[in-house]
Copies of this chain bind each other. A is one copy, B any other.
C-alpha cells in the first residue's frame, strides 16, 4: 500500500524541555527547516504550527517555501498550547476572552490553510484540562469546549477538523484524552467535517493498542482523518523515532491502516532532543516505509486466519518467523 509521508516542520529542527529551555541545539529559521525537509525524498508534505510557523503576516512567504520545495501543506495545527495566554486552556478556558481568542485563531488558521492549498486542521487542545482535583467544572468546561469546536467546524465545512487526543501533558489531565472520548466530542458538533488524529505515542500512553484505535475510529463513523507517528516507552509521550521501541504494535498498526483503507497522510511527530532532527525524521520515514512494505508482503489470508483463530502460540510463531530472520539459518 502506498502512503503519503509528511512531517511537522519543527521536527527537523531543535527542541527544548523544562530544564534546557534554550534548546538542545541551535535553532533553525523557517527557511532552513523547509530546506531540511526537502532533503528527505519520501516526504511530500508538511504540517505547520500556528504562531511557531504561521502568523497573520507570513502566509505568502510560507506559500513560497512550499512551492520552492514542491511540498504540500498537509495541515495546520493551530496554536492552542504554545503561549502563556493558553495556560488555563483554549476552547475550554475559564476566561471567555481566551475562549474567543481560541476560536478566532483557529479561524485564521483555517483561512491560512486554504490559502496554502490545505484542507485539514489538526487540533490539539493540549492545555484544555486540569492539573488539580477540585480545580475544574468538568461539565461546564466540556460545554465550552464543544461550543468552540462547533463554531470552528461550521466556519468552513470544506475544511476538515481533526482532533488529536492525549491523556496528559502539559496538563496532568486532558479533556480530549482517548480515542473514544474523541468520538464523543466529534459527535457533539453535529457536522461531518470532524474526525480524529491518532498520535501513535499518545495512544500507547493511554494504554490503547494503536491498531485497535484505528479499528475503533473506523467503526464509529470512519473518523480517522490523520496520523502522527513516533514511539515511546508507554509511560510518557517520549516522541521517539518511529519503530525504535514497539516493533509489533507498529506492524499491527500499519496492518490495520491497510485493512481499514486509510488513505490520509502519515506524518512524523518526533521530538529530537538529542538527535539531529533531520537524521531522526529521515529514519522515522524509512521506518514507516518499511513497515508498510512489510505489511504488503504479508499473506493477508494467513494473517486473517491468525486473527480469526486467535491462538497466541501460532500468532507469536508467525511474528517470530517474520521479524527474527537469522541469516543463513534454518529454523
Contacts and interface: CB of A to CB of B under 8 A. Distances in A.
B168 A207 contact: yes
A172 B320 contact: no
A238 interface: yes
Interface residues of A, number: 112
B313 A134 contact: no
Contacts of A234: 233-235
A222 B275 CA distance: 34
Interface in A122-177: 126, 130-139, 142-143, 167-170, 172-173, 177
Interface stretch (A29-37, A65-73, A76-84, A100-108): A76-84
A244 to B, nearest CB: 5
What are the 6 tightest A-B residue pairs by CB atom distance, in nearest-first order? A138-B215, A247-B247, A180-B180, A279-B313, A180-B181, A283-B313
Interface of A: 15-25, 81-84, 86-88, 94, 126, 130-139, 142-143, 167-170, 172-173, 177-178, 180-181, 183-184, 206-207, 209, 211-212, 215-216, 218-220, 232-236, 238, 240-241, 243-245, 247-249, 252, 255-256, 260, 271, 273-276, 279-280, 282-283, 286-287, 290-291, 293-294, 297, 303, 306-320, 323-329, 331
